[in-house]
Chain A
Amino acid sequence: MAAVFLTPLLFVAYTSVIGDQGFSLAYYAEVATHPLYRRVIENSLEISVTATVCTLLVAYPIAYHLSRRTARQRALLAILVLLPFWTSILVKSFAFTVLLGRAGIVNKLLGAIGLAPLPLLFNRTGVMIGLTHYLVPFMVFAILPSLLSQPPELRRAAELMGAGSMRIFCAITLPLSLPGVMAGLLLCFILSLGTFVTPALLGGRTDLMIANLIDFNIHETLDWNLGAALAIVLAVITAICALVLGRVRGGNLFGEG
């Protein structure tokens, strides 16, 4: 394991500092100052934050809904979440090109009710929709345990004391589920930051993310050192988030498993 996993990572680190003239940090300097690299890193952070927030907005109602069902109903409804989770990202990307394209299903429906077609594919919107779809199951499974662990008596008590359902949600359910929400946010942020397929297939040609730029450096411009430096930057950001995630989960890094 050490030989086959750690060594490759060390190779990346090595490649990122050793160039033609021996050791130098010039590649990191270039990553930090070159306008293209700066823009891509900013892009990636921006896309990841937005996608993570969108994911929360979609996933919380699902987790809430699941937590209020009986165990039997929950097992059945969970399939609706598990199926996209286990569906290949390529199948989903293909489906979205069919759904969102200029002559796609969504735009045809819009046309049928007399609206102009929207540019939904090969731009930021496409990446956002694809990423959110990819992340929702992770978020649901992060939030669900913290909703299920709340004793139902707590809500009953508040209800008996005359609290409305909105009040109960805002004062009890939501605050108690925040640890799960935090874990989900961090997890989704990590996952979206390193994403490669979605921006490559659903995004615009100029709206790159870090992973696509690494690929571009390795396969197109053959600038391995720069690609490696970028990879290290990505890995460090991810590692920091993962450590924070470990803290949020109270040291139990591996969830309920």
Chain B
Amino acid sequence: MEERRHRTLPSFLASAFAWLAYVFLILPSLVVVPMSFGDKDEFIFPPHTLSLYLYKRYFLESTWMQVTLQSLVLGICTTAAALVLGVGAAYGLERYSFPGKRAVALFLLSPIFVPAIVIALGLYLYLGRFHLTGTLPGLILSHTIITMPFVIISVSAGLRHVDRNLETAAMVMGAGRFLILRKVTLPLLRPALVAGGLFAFLISFDEVVIAYFISNVSTQTLPVKMYSSIHWEISPVLAAVSTLMTVLSLAVCLVVVFLQRNERT
């Protein structure tokens, strides 16, 4: 018993630190939820009476709805483009070997390591030449570049788990390369595709720096609107928007945890 107590004090302290850290991490997400049910245009915590007033404002004000719609369209188009290109790139990198493969892989993933502000400035100067700044195609192109690496990582990991013998068997039975991809490889890759697609969507939906440089008033996205709202006037509607976005994040992270658990079993 003596030894046991001797052991528990430091480990108790370690746990206490860890829980403090968890609280620090989760606190901002917890604070916005009660705020969002306040009933006036001011910040009172905790709110005196609960109401859906701020949600009503969010859903009824056309500017908020317009930017949300813009972000949804952008997110969906980006996800589709990043999935198509990312699956192609990951398949090429995993299934074929060619000279300079490591360099190509490094290059394809490099947008992760370049600061967003540098990419934003580059795209701003570059897309300006083609009059694509301030347009939806310009935004989709920009977001596809930054989300594709995450699709590649997710799909590459998935491809490593796919039994190559299944592809070989299909080939022996006379299936063409495209048929194998469609009937064998892609269905087996579904968890990786879902995870990669969700990442791409969420990154695009949350992205602010590049959108801030590329978009204009008519193509403003939700994060850009939130950014300027925090920067200039701090509207209480932000609490409602933040809560909805937190719910979205929670849903995505539960799906990912669930997928990982399924993959293991």
B11 near A62: Cβ-Cβ < 8 Å: no
Measured between beta carbons, the chain A residues less than 8 angstroms from B15 are: 65
Measured between beta carbons, the chain B residues less than 8 angstroms from A7 are: 122, 126
Residue A49 is within 8 A (CB to CB) of chain B in the complex: no
Chain A proximity mask over B246-264: 1 for CB below 8 Å, otherwise 0: 1001101110110011000
Residue A248 is within 8 A (CB to CB) of chain B in the complex: no
Measured between beta carbons, the chain B residues less than 8 angstroms from A83 are: 25-26, 29, 246, 249-250, 253
Q: How far is the CA of A13 from the CA of B249 in the complex (A)?
A: 36
Q: How far is the CB of A102 from chain B (nearest CB, A)?
A: 11
Q: How far is the CA of A94 from the CA of B32 in the complex (A)?
A: 8
Known: A89-B208, A136-B25. A105 touches B122 (CB 8 A): no
**10 shortest interchain CB distances as A-B pairs:** A194-B115, A8-B122, A95-B28, A65-B18, A61-B17, A8-B126, A211-B117, A86-B249, A91-B242, A88-B206
Mark out the residues of chain A between 63 and 82 whose CB falls within 8 Å of any chain B CB in the assembled complex: 64-66, 75, 77-82
Residue B55 is within 8 A (CB to CB) of chain A in the complex: no
Write the chain B residue with the least CB distance to A71.
B264
Which one of A93, A165, A227 contacts B230 once the chains associate, using CB atoms below 8 Å?
A93
Mark out the residues of chain A between 204 and 257 whose CB falls within 8 Å of any chain B CB in the assembled complex: 210-211, 214-215, 218, 224, 227-228, 231-232, 234-235, 238-239, 242, 253-254, 257
B10 near A91: Cβ-Cβ < 8 Å: no
Q: Beyond A81-B22, A257-B154: 17 further Cβ-contacts under 8 Å?
A: A5-B111, A6-B107, A8-B127, A61-B14, A79-B254, A84-B26, A89-B208, A90-B223, A98-B43, A105-B31, A133-B25, A190-B113, A194-B118, A201-B227, A211-B115, A214-B117, A218-B121
A238 near B242: Cβ-Cβ < 8 Å: no
- Say which one of B58-66, B166-174, B175-183, B231-239 lies at the interface with A: B231-239
Measured between beta carbons, the chain B residues less than 8 angstroms from A22 are: none
Residue B145 is within 8 A (CB to CB) of chain A in the complex: yes
Write the chain A residue with the least CB distance to B125.
A11
User: Which of A65, A95, A214 has its CB near the most chain B CB atoms (within 10 A)?
Assistant: A95
Residue B114 is within 8 A (CB to CB) of chain A in the complex: yes
Q: How far is the CA of A131 from the CA of B18 in the complex (A)?
A: 19
Write the chain A residue with the least CB distance to B10.
A165
Known: A15-B125, A82-B256. A91 touches B261 (CB 8 A): no
Known: A8-B126, A12-B122, A190-B113. A95 touches B242 (CB 8 A): yes
Known: A11-B125, A87-B29, A94-B230. A239 touches B113 (CB 8 A): yes
**Chain B contact residues: helix, strand, loop or mixed:** helix
Residue A147 is within 8 A (CB to CB) of chain B in the complex: no
Write the chain A residue with the least CB distance to B27.
A99
A9 near B117: Cβ-Cβ < 8 Å: no
Q: How far is the CB of A59 from chain B (nearest CB, A)?
A: 7
Measured between beta carbons, the chain A residues less than 8 angstroms from B250 are: 83
